[in-house]
Structure 1
Amino acid sequence: MRRVRPPGLLVLAVLGLHLLAGHEVQRMQDGWRRDDTPPMPPRMAMEFTQAMTLSAPRPAARAPAPPPAPPAVSPAAVAHGNVPAGDTPAPAASAPDRAASEPAAARTLPAPTDATTEPALPVAPQSAASAASAAAPDEPGPGPEWPLSTRLSYQLTGHYRGPVSGQAQVEWMRKGKDYQVSLDVSVGPVSRRMLSQGTLTPQGIAPQRYDEETRVLLLDTRRSTVFFLGAEVQLATGVRERAAFGGQDAASQFVQLTWLFLTGREVLEPGRLVQFPLVLPRRQYAWQYEVLGEELLQTPMGPLATWHLKPTRVAVSGDLSADVWLAPALQYLPVRLLIRQDADTFIDLNLQAAPLQAAPESSDNPSRRSRP
C-alpha cells in the first residue's frame, strides 16, 4: 500500500523552495553583498515625549546664500570619471551673475524629455574638505531652522504580487551637527530598515553613509551600503563614481525637502521644480521634484493642508522613487509617502497619529550616547 504524504507538508516545502530560490536570485540581481559589508551603525538614543500640534507656518527667513555650485557635467561624464580636476571648481563663465548669487538649492533645471535624458549633475569639489562636508568644529551648531528630533508613524497599504498592509515609521534624529534618518517598514514576515547618517551644514544635509537592511523570516539578512567619500561615492555594488555636489540619499532627501521649504530656500508654488542630486544604491540621478499643488488629506489630526511633490521621472534598475506630501502646519514634515518600484509594486504610507518630538535639549545635546 502506497504511503500518501499530507498535502499541507508538500505545500510548505514548495513554498520554502520558492522563497529560498527567489531570495538568492534577488540577491544576485540587486548586487547585495553580505561578507564585506559593515554592519549598520548604532542608532542615536532619543526619547520622543511630546505630541506635535498643528501650527501656522512660521515666516521663513532666507539664510545667507551658500557659495555657488561647481560647474555641471553630464551623468555619463560622472560615471566614467571624465570630469575636470581642481580643488575649487568655478561656476561656468557664461552663467548670469544673478544665478551665481542665488542659493544652489533654489535653481531649477529643465525636466528631462525621456528616460535617457537627464539634467546635468554638478560635480563635488576634488578636495576632501568639500562644500558638502561637515562644518568646522569651532562653528556654532545647527540653528532653530532644523526640526526637533521627530518620530512619524504611518499606516501602510500597497501592492506586491497582491495587496499588502503593514506599519512604517520614520525617525529624524539630530544631536549637535550629527543627524540620522531612519525609515522602518514591516509587511508580514518581511521588514526593511533604511538608515542615513551624516552631518548638518550651511548647505543642508550632508550624508556620510546610507544603509538598507532587509530581513525575511527564516532567511538571511540582506544589507546594502552607500558611502559618501568627499569627491566620490561608493555605490552598493562596490563601484566608485565621482560625487555630485550636494547629493542626498533615499532617506535624507525627505528631510532635505523639509529644510528647504522651512527656511524659505525653496517656495511652494504649483509648477515649481526642486532639484538636487540623488544617490540611490545602484545609480546617481539628477533628481527633480515638481510641486503639483495643494491637497487636503484626511489624517488622525483632522483635515490637513499639504503640498504634493512628484518626481519628474522614474528610477531604473530596481531603484525606488517616491511622491511626497508635505504639511506646512507640521513643519513641512511628510505626512504621506507613495513609494514606487514599478506600476505594480508600491507602498503607500499615510500618517497614523500625531508626530512625536523630543525635548529641545535631547535633540541638541551631542554628549548623549547612542544605542544599538
Structure 2
Amino acid sequence: MKTPRPPWLLVLCVLALHLWLGQEVQRIHEGWQRDGPPPMPPRMQVEFVREMVLQPPPAVARMAAPPPAIPARGAAAAASEPLPMPEPPASTPEPVAEAPPVAAPEVVAAAASAPVTDEPGPEWPLSTRLSYVLTGNYRGSVHGQAQVEWLRQGRDYQVHLDVGVGPSFAPLISRRMSSQGKLTPEGIAPQRYDEETRVILGDARRATVLLQGTEVQLANGARQPVARGAQDSASQFVQLTWLFLTGREPLEAGRVINFPLVLPYRQYAWQYQVVGEELLDTPMGPVASWHLKPTRGVAGGDLLAEVWLAPSLQFLPVRLVIRQDADTYIDLMLKSAPLQAAPE
C-alpha cells in the first residue's frame, strides 16, 4: 500500500515559513547589534620615545579657579560593577637615554597669565605611559599588571587604564577603562567613557557612558542632567594632575577637592581629601608624593580609588589603590620610569 504524499502546496507553505523565520531571526540579531553599545573608539597612535627622570617640582603660579559646578538634579551615589584587580603592561619598552622635558616654571607661569582661549595650554603633560605592578586581594591574594596611557593630539585626549589579574599572556580577569573627549580652559571635558571586563572562559561585558553637553546617558540608557566639570572613572586622575600642575588647587594637607563624578550607573558629588605628603619607594628611587583619599566610604559595590601624585613626575600617579570593600582591593605601584612622547 503506497504512503500518501503531502500536497505540494503544504510543502511550499512550510518552506516559506522557515525562510521567513530565518529572515526575522537575522533582522532581530542585526537590531540587537545596532541598538547595543557602539564599538570602542580606536586608540590614538602615539610613539613613546623618552624615559622620564625625576625633576624638581615645577614652581606653579596660582591660576583662577573655574566657575563653580552646578549640581545636577537627580544625581545620586554612583554604583559600578565590581572590578577585578589590575596589572602592568606585558612588556616594558627599552628605556631611552634622553630625558623628557618637564614644564618649566616660566612656561607654567606664562600659561597662568595667558589669555583664555579654546586651545589647550602648554601646561598639559605630554602623552605618557605608566606601568604598574599589581597586588591585592580578590577572594585571596592576587597578582598582575596594569598600565595607564594618557594620550593627546591637539585638543583631543584619551585615557586608558588596562588591568589584568594573573599572567600577562593569559589573565584570569582583565578590565579596560577608557575615556575620551576634549581639553578645555577649564580642564578635561569627557565625552565618552567605556568599561569592558573579560573573565577567562566567559563573555566580555561592556558599559558605555556618553556625556553630551548638559546631559549624560548612563550605561543603562537612562538620561540625566550632568553638572559642569564632570569627570569619569578614568579622566578624574588626569584632571587632578592638571589642577595641581597649574596651581588651580594648592597641595596642602587637609584640603578637599570637589568635582562631579559620573560612574556607569549613577553620579556623585565627589570629594578627595589631601591626606599629606608621603615618601614612596619606587624603581626610580624614593619619590615624594601627595596622598589623596575619597571622603566617603565604600558602599553598594562601588569602586573607590586612592591616588598618590608625584610633583617630581609632573604630578602623575605613582600609586593607585582601588577598593570595592575592606577585603577586595588592588594596589598598583609604579613598575618603572614612565615613558613620554616627543612634543607635538
TM-score interval for Structure 1 and Structure 2 normalised by the shorter chain: 0.7 to 0.9
Q: Cα deviation per residue 1:77-121 (whole Å; 9 max; x = unaligned)?
A: 3349xxxxxxxxxxxxxxxxxxxxxxxxxxxxxxxxxx99xxxxx
Percent of pairs with identical residues? 70
How far 1:65 sits from its partner (Å)? Answer: 4.7
Q: Secondary structure at the match of 2:236?
A: helix
Structure 2 residue aligned with 1:333:
316
Aligned-residue CA RMSD (Å): 2.0
Say yes or no: does 1:357 pair with 2:333.
no
Q: Secondary structure at the match of 1:78?
A: coil
1:58-137 mapped onto 2 (5 Å cutoff): 58-66=58-66, 68-69=67-68, 72-73=70-71, 77-79=73-75
Say yes or no: does 1:266 pair with 2:262.
no
Q: Secondary structure at the match of 1:296?
A: strand
TM-score by length of 1: 0.69
Q: Secondary structure at the match of 2:148?
A: strand
Structure 2 residue aligned with 1:180:
158
Counterpart residue identity of residue 68, structure 2 = A
Contact 1:249 1:278 in 2 (8 A): yes
Say yes or no: does 1:171 pair with 2:149.
yes
Structure 2 residue aligned with 1:154:
132
Say yes or no: does 1:299 pair with 2:282.
yes
1:182-331 mapped onto 2 (5 Å cutoff): 182-188=160-166, 189-331=172-314
Contact 1:298 1:304 in 2 (8 A): yes
Q: Secondary structure at the match of 2:74?
A: helix
How far 1:219 sits from its partner (Å)? Answer: 1.5
TM-score by length of 2: 0.75
How far 1:62 sits from its partner (Å)? Answer: 3.1
Higher mean C-alpha displacement, 312-321 vs 44-53: 312-321
Q: Cα deviation per residue 1:186-236 (whole Å; 9 max; x = unaligned)?
A: 112211100000000011000000000111222111110111011111111
2:326 and 2:34 mapped to 1: Cα distance? 30
Counterpart residue identity of residue 182, structure 1 = H
Q: Structure 1's 78 and 312: CA in aligned 2 closer, same or farther, altered over 3 A?
A: same
Structure label with greater radius of gyration: 2
Say yes or no: does 1:145 pair with 2:123.
yes
1:191 and 1:163 mapped to 2: Cα distance? 16
Counterpart residue identity of residue 287, structure 1 = W
1:350 and 1:34 mapped to 2: Cα distance? 40
Structure 1 residue aligned with 2:51:
51
Contact 1:247 1:279 in 2 (8 A): yes
1:190 and 1:65 mapped to 2: Cα distance? 40
Contact 2:197 2:206 in 1 (8 A): yes
Structure 2 residue aligned with 1:26:
none
Gaps of 5+ in 1: 1-32, 81-114, 117-138, 362-372
Contact 1:280 1:319 in 2 (8 A): no
Q: Aligned pair count? A: 269
Structure 2 residue aligned with 1:36:
36
Q: Secondary structure at the match of 1:294?
A: strand
How far 1:282 sits from its partner (Å)? Answer: 1.5
**Divergent runs of 4+, >2 A:** 61-66, 77-80, 314-319
Q: Secondary structure at the match of 1:339?
A: strand
